[in-house]
Amino acid sequence: MGINNEISEEKKMKVAKVIEYFVSYECQKEIILEEGYQTTLSEIYDDKSTCESYVQCQDFKYIQPILRPIHATEDYSQYSQKYRNFLLKYLYENENLRECLQNIEYLTKIFYEENDTFMNRLFMSMIIFAIVFMLSCYCLAFTKKHKHKFKLLNRFYWFLYMLGQMILMCYGIAGMGETTDFKCQIRSIIFSVGFTLGNTILLVRMLINFPESERRFVRFCERNFGKTILFSLSIDAILNVIALIDPYGVEVIVDGNIMYNKCLLTSTIGLFAIGLIFLYKLLILFAMAILVFIEWNIKEFMHDVRYATATLFISFIIYLIFGMVQNMKIGGYRERFFIPAMITYIYGMSCFCSYFVARFFSNYDENTEEAIIKKAVIQEKPLPTSYEKYSSSMSLNQSHGNLPQKKLSVADRLIGLHNYGDEIKKSYDVLKTSSNNSSSTNLSATRVNLRKNSRSFTNINDSVSFNNRRASQATQIMAIPENKIADSYAFASSSNSNPTDSMGQDSSNSDENVNTSKIKSNENFANLSATRVNRINSTPNKKFLGYGMANKRSYENFPNVGLRKGSNNVSYTNIHPIVGSSYTNLPISRKESVNNHNASSSSISLEKPPALKSSEHIVIIPNCITEKEEKASSSQQSNVNNANNDIHGNEDTKK
């Protein structure tokens, strides 16, 4: 009924009295019910005596009106069919009423694990226990007793590693309660960030431990550790932002009579971004596997590599199982929540225990006397002979573009780094130390020969023979055939092109210990005793190379050669070089000097030596010994004569 709003107030009062009569108890009972209509007054239905008198009143009182659940399901036809089937089973097949009503309820009810269930409470307790355990281990790690076992990273990066494992373990929390779009989107971000933060720190640290430490990527990671971590996390952020363009949605899964929600991604962009995220994780694991293989024999990081190996195995296994669970139908809604949550929890705890907690039980202590002695022995131990093959075929330093004649394949290179990783690491560490302690140019402004300074197998052998020669202190002056001078000069110039040795120290002593084994002369003395008499194997067609004159190209006439050797001083005068070039690059730390016959010698006073007595093959310089040695025994002179006779015999045999 309606009332006109434009009528007067008097008419409105009259209309109100009419409506009041229509809705009165008497009117509804005597007029509406008598005519067979349904009344709207609830008092009549509550009055049993009145309602029992009318059939329509009784029917309406006991009826249960039900609305069609149009919005409860997407397929109402299928819902209606199942609803009628359950109802007919009760009516005609004597099914249990409770079961039929429960099945009808399940047609529209979405199941999920509520927060107050036993399973969720148990999982939350496990998460809290793991976090408390990790924090306790973190605090204990930096005590005086154990801090030397955690020198691989500083406290901040150890905390970031632990934080990554914590984030990954909290993956299951996002699955508690009713599944929503936000929970589906945040779960992928939790897994991505936690996995990257926990494994990228290990990857970057292993890159820093790479044997060839002069590589650009190694030096960049070493100098920008934090930036490298941020760069890896930024890749994750970009991929997750792309996935959020068309993000995860909630899909209703019907499992028999039960329905539950599941996160579903159907867009092409989202699938592409998620695929890149998982591929990025696999690349991190494969890179770690390659670095573990390369650094397996590096003794300095032996324990760290073993811990990383255990972490790597766990990561591959868990990653495979997690991917299978996400794409397989396993159990109902409880299993779909609990299994992924437990997988990520086990992964986080296993990685933390294998890489962090295991260090507490390690007996290795580098501060003990035994460890210090062992480390010193390893450092002084010569490199294996098989290392020469690798060092000759692959250059350890690429600063001058000294590429090998035949490039190694990737597999051969990896095997070489695996077998000789410890030696290569030591070589580059020595090179790095020498570069920090010495300048990079010599006196003639030429660049340092880094290959000479590297601790290759050849250089180490030279250094050993250098020490042996220094111990013997046998002074010898050689004469080389004129046709061999070029070869000798080429060797001498290449070996003395750098004034610093492999340890970054001054190498001015190299002229005192010339490696005579490198000189290509067929007439060298076979066995020279360590006498103070200097010998010259000379013929008219041979040129003289003075002691320490490896850089001189040729010396022709030396009628007045004087050599006076004091405690720290050696001087050479009246030497006529073929090429009058300046030799300013000669070492000066031993106070040695070479003066040309045209140079001024005002600061050096030498007595004029007597004339040399020469024969056809042997020239004896009596003035080459010091004043203290003039009283040498006659037996030494007889040894010289015997050596001269042997040489005459050898010359005749050759002729």
Contact present, 502 and 459 (Cβ < 8 Å): yes
Per residue in 237-276, pLDDT (tens digit) is 999 999 888 888 888 877 777 788 888 888 888 889 988 9
**Which has the higher per-residue pLDDT, 258 or 653?**
258
Assigned domain for 588 exists: yes
pLDDT of residue 131: 94
Per residue in 516-543, pLDDT (tens digit) is 343 444 444 444 444 443 444 444 444 4
pLDDT of residue 408: 67
Instruction: Provide the residue type at 310 as one letter.
Output: A
Assigned domain for 208 exists: yes
pLDDT of residue 365: 59
pLDDT of residue 460: 35
From the list 457, 458, 437, the residue with the least C-alpha distance to 448 is 437
CB atoms within 10 A of CB 22: 11
439, pLDDT greater than 70: no
Assigned domain for 426 exists: yes
Is 485 found in the same domain as 599?
yes
Residue 160: pLDDT band with limits 50, 70, 90: very high
Assigned domain for 463 exists: no
Indicate the pTM of the whole model. 0.55
**149-158, 251-260, 355-364, 568-577: which range is least confident on average?**
568-577
Residue 345: pLDDT band with limits 50, 70, 90: very high
pLDDT of residue 238: 93
**75-89, 226-240, 346-360, 625-639: which range is least confident on average?**
625-639
Kindly give, in sequence order, each residue whose CB lies less than 8 Å from that of residue 180, ignoring residues fewer than 6 positions away. 250
pLDDT of residue 280: 92
Contact present, 183 and 115 (Cβ < 8 Å): no
CB atoms within 10 A of CB 261: 21
**Which has the higher per-residue pLDDT, 290 or 447?**
290
pLDDT of residue 63: 77
Q: What is the mean pLDDT of residues 497-526?
A: 39
Assigned domain for 458 exists: no
pLDDT of residue 286: 92
Helix, strand, coil % in the chain, rounded to nearest 5: 55, 10, 35
Is 483 found in the same domain as 444?
no
Is 324 found in the same domain as 400?
no
pLDDT of residue 645: 60
pLDDT of residue 231: 92
Is 347 found in the same domain as 224?
yes
Structure tokens at 588: 């000066």
429, pLDDT greater than 90: no
Per residue in 18-31, pLDDT (tens digit) is 888 888 878 887 77
**40-54, 127-141, 309-323, 347-361: which range is least confident on average?**
40-54
pLDDT of residue 133: 94
- 258-264 and 110-111 as β-strands: parallel, antiparallel, unpaired? parallel
Which of 361, 394, 424 delimits the end of a domain? 361
pLDDT of residue 507: 35
Contact present, 134 and 162 (Cβ < 8 Å): yes
Q: What is the dihedral of CA 649, 652, 654, 655, to 10 degrees?
A: 170
H-type helices in 295-420, by residue range? 302-326, 333-355, 369-380, 387-393, 410-419
Is 403 found in the same domain as 287?
no
Residue 607: pLDDT band with limits 50, 70, 90: very low
193, pLDDT greater than 50: yes
From the list 549, 387, 368, 394, the residue with the least C-alpha distance to 476 is 549
Contact present, 593 and 576 (Cβ < 8 Å): no
Residue 139: pLDDT band with limits 50, 70, 90: very high
Contact present, 28 and 44 (Cβ < 8 Å): yes
CB atoms within 10 A of CB 426: 19
Main-chain dihedrals φ then ψ at residue 533, nearest 5 degrees: -95, 120
Residue 60: pLDDT band with limits 50, 70, 90: confident
Assigned domain for 459 exists: no
Q: How far is CA 175 from CA 187, 324, 343, 462, 579, in A?
A: 8, 18, 13, 67, 86
Burial environment of residue 89 by CB neighbours within 10 A (0 to 12, 13 to 18, 19 or more): middle
Kindly give, in sequence order, each residue whose CB lies less than 8 Å from that of residue 506, ignoring residues fewer than 6 positions away. 499, 500, 587, 589
Distance, in Å, from the CA atom of 563 to the CA atom of 572, rounded to the nearest integer, reads 6
Is 551 found in the same domain as 407?
no
DSSP 618: E
Is 210 found in the same domain as 153?
yes
Structure tokens at 149: 């076992």
Distance, in Å, from the CA atom of 420 to the CA atom of 396, rounded to the nearest integer, reads 12
- 563-565 and 258-264 as β-strands: parallel, antiparallel, unpaired? unpaired
Domain count, the chain: 5
Is 380 found in the same domain as 298?
no
Is 122 found in the same domain as 205?
yes
pLDDT of residue 434: 63
Sole residue written with tokens 């690349």 = 283
**Which has the higher per-residue pLDDT, 446 or 167?**
167
pLDDT of residue 233: 92
pLDDT of residue 62: 76
Is 151 found in the same domain as 24?
no
Is 544 found in the same domain as 424?
no
Distance, in Å, from the CA atom of 348 to the CA atom of 165, rounded to the nearest integer, reads 5
Assigned domain for 441 exists: yes
Residue 420: pLDDT band with limits 50, 70, 90: confident
From the list 262, 278, 601, 218, the residue with the least C-alpha distance to 425 is 218
Here the CATH number for the domain that contains residue 283 is 1.20.1070.10
Assigned domain for 267 exists: yes
pLDDT of residue 362: 78
Mean predicted lDDT score pLDDT of the chain: 68
Q: What is the mean pLDDT of residues 538-566?
A: 43
Is 637 found in the same domain as 565?
yes
Main-chain dihedrals φ then ψ at residue 4, nearest 5 degrees: -70, 130
Instruction: Provide the residue type at 134 as one letter.
Output: M
Domain hosting residue 24, numbered range: 19-62
